[in-house]
């Protein structure tokens, strides 16, 4: 049975239960991170922990744990489950408290780490690409719930995903309130036009994806021009290549965006970026394993 880190210790999955009065459950009041362990090492851990604390600060949630304590708990969870290739989710909710929206009703956040074996995605998704569709559901207005908060309040994304599935698409692409392309339900979006890599800027009201940042750095280091800006679906219809990114999918080619089809080429920019991303993961693992001088 899977071992779950709950508050201050590891417990079997059957005992990993939280209160029905938890404000995460009642109000979606909380934050989380999704991470990926390769060969037992969590890639970009520091960036994920930084973003976790940033999300917490944006909802005035005091985590009552240091980054070092969270890291220790995370590796304990991986070890307890004997996992090397893993999907890891860290969740902090506001905690249990009486009914009512006042955050001060909850004295202590609830802390959970789940680590599951990483199952990966079908290889056909990478070879043939996936379908993405612009949905009617708009991305949360950043003046209401800033998408930079990786929040437990996920209904915006759930509704968008349901729309995509109804249309036979794998990922929904949400527009912001201005009609500009924002992001997927669990991914950032990129497109390539005449060798220039384009992606909505963080100002469009998106999550500042860690994979997105890594890809931008990879592209710049390779001498490619990266344009972060405001784009409309029309810009993507005219693109040469489209791809999605997140921590677990890494770089996922899109073969159809709305009704426009894209050819997936082994010689394309998407594949080159994915190759460079994998090389960065390998380099990280190599550096981690090198004995300290």
How do 130-134 and 171-175 pair as beta strands?
parallel
Among residues 49, 56, 204, 210, which is the contact residue for ligand PLP, using CB under 6 A?
210
Span 237-256, contacts to ligand PLP by CB under 6 A: 245-247
Min dist CB 232 to ligand PLP, Å, is 19
Between 5 and 277, CB nearer to ligand PLP: 277
Name the strand (E) or helix (H) holding 196.
strand 196-200
Long-range (24+ apart) CB contacts under 8 A made by 223-229 are: 224/195, 224/196, 224/197, 224/269, 225/195, 225/196, 225/197, 226/196, 226/197, 226/198, 226/199, 227/196, 227/197, 227/198, 227/199, 228/198, 228/199, 228/200, 228/201, 228/202, 229/198, 229/200, 229/201
Q: Tell me how long the chain is.
A: 293
Min dist CB 36 to ligand PLP, Å, is 8
Span 14-53, contacts to ligand PLP by CB under 6 A: 34
Span 106-165, contacts to ligand PLP by CB under 6 A: 157
Min dist CB 37 to ligand PLP, Å, is 14
Between 34 and 201, CB nearer to ligand PLP: 34
Min dist CB 30 to ligand PLP, Å, is 14
By rule CB under 6 A, what string of x and - marks binding of each residue 180-209 to ligand PLP? ---x--xxx------------------x-x
Residues contacting ligand PLP: total by CB under 6 A: 14
Helix 67-80 vs helix 45-58: crossing angle, to nearest 10: 120
Among residues 142, 180, 212, 271, which is the contact residue for ligand PLP, using CB under 6 A?
212
Between 7 and 34, CB nearer to ligand PLP: 34
| DSSP 8-state assignment for residue 98 | S
Neighbours of 44 (CB within 10 A): 19
| Annotated catalytic residue within 44, 150, 161, 271 | 150
Specify burial of residue 109 (Cβ count, 10 A radius: 0-12, 13-18, 19+). buried
Interaction of residue 91 with ligand PLP, rule CB under 6 A: no
Whether 261 is a known active-site residue: answer no
Q: Would you please indicate which residues are annotated as catalytic (active-site) residues?
A: 150
Contacting positions for ligand PLP (CB under 6 A): 34, 157, 183, 186-188, 207, 209-212, 245-247
């Amino acid at each position: 049975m899977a071992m779950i880190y709950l508050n201050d210790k590891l417990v079997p999955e059957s005992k990993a239960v939280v209160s029905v009065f938890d404000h995460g459950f009642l109000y979606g009041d909380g934050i989380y991170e999704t991470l990926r362990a390769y060969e037992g090492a969590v890639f970009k851990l520091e960036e994920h922990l930084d973003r976790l604390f940033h999300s917490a600060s944006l909802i005035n949630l005091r985590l009552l744990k240091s980054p070092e304590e969270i890291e220790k708990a995370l590796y304990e969870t991986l070890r307890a489950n004997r996992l090397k290739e893993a999907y890891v989710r860290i969740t902090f909710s506001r905690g249990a408290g009486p009914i009512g929206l006042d955050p001060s009703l909850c004295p202590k956040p609830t802390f959970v780490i789940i680590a599951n074996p990483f199952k990966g995605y079908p290889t056909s998704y990478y070879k043939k690409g996936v379908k993405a569709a612009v949905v009617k559901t708009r991305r949360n207005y950043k003046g209401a719930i800033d998408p930079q908060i990786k929040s437990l309040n996920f209904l915006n994304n759930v509704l968008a995903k349901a729309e995509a599935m109804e249309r036979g698409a794998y990922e929904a692409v949400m527009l912001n309130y201005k009609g500009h392309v924002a992001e997927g339900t669990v991914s950032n979006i990129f497109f390539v036009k005449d060798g220039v890599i384009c992606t909505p800027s963080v100002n469009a009201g998106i999550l500042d994806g860690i994979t997105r940042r890594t890809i931008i750095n990879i592209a710049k280091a390779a001498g490619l021009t990266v344009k972060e800006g405001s784009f409309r679906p029309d810009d993507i219809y005219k693109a040469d290549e489209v791809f999605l990114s997140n921590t677990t999918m890494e770089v996922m080619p899109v073969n159809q965006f709305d009704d426009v089809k894209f050819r997936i080429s082994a010689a394309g920019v998407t594949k080159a970026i994915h190759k460079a991303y994998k090389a960065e993961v390998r380099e990280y693992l190599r550096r981690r394993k090198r004995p300290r001088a």
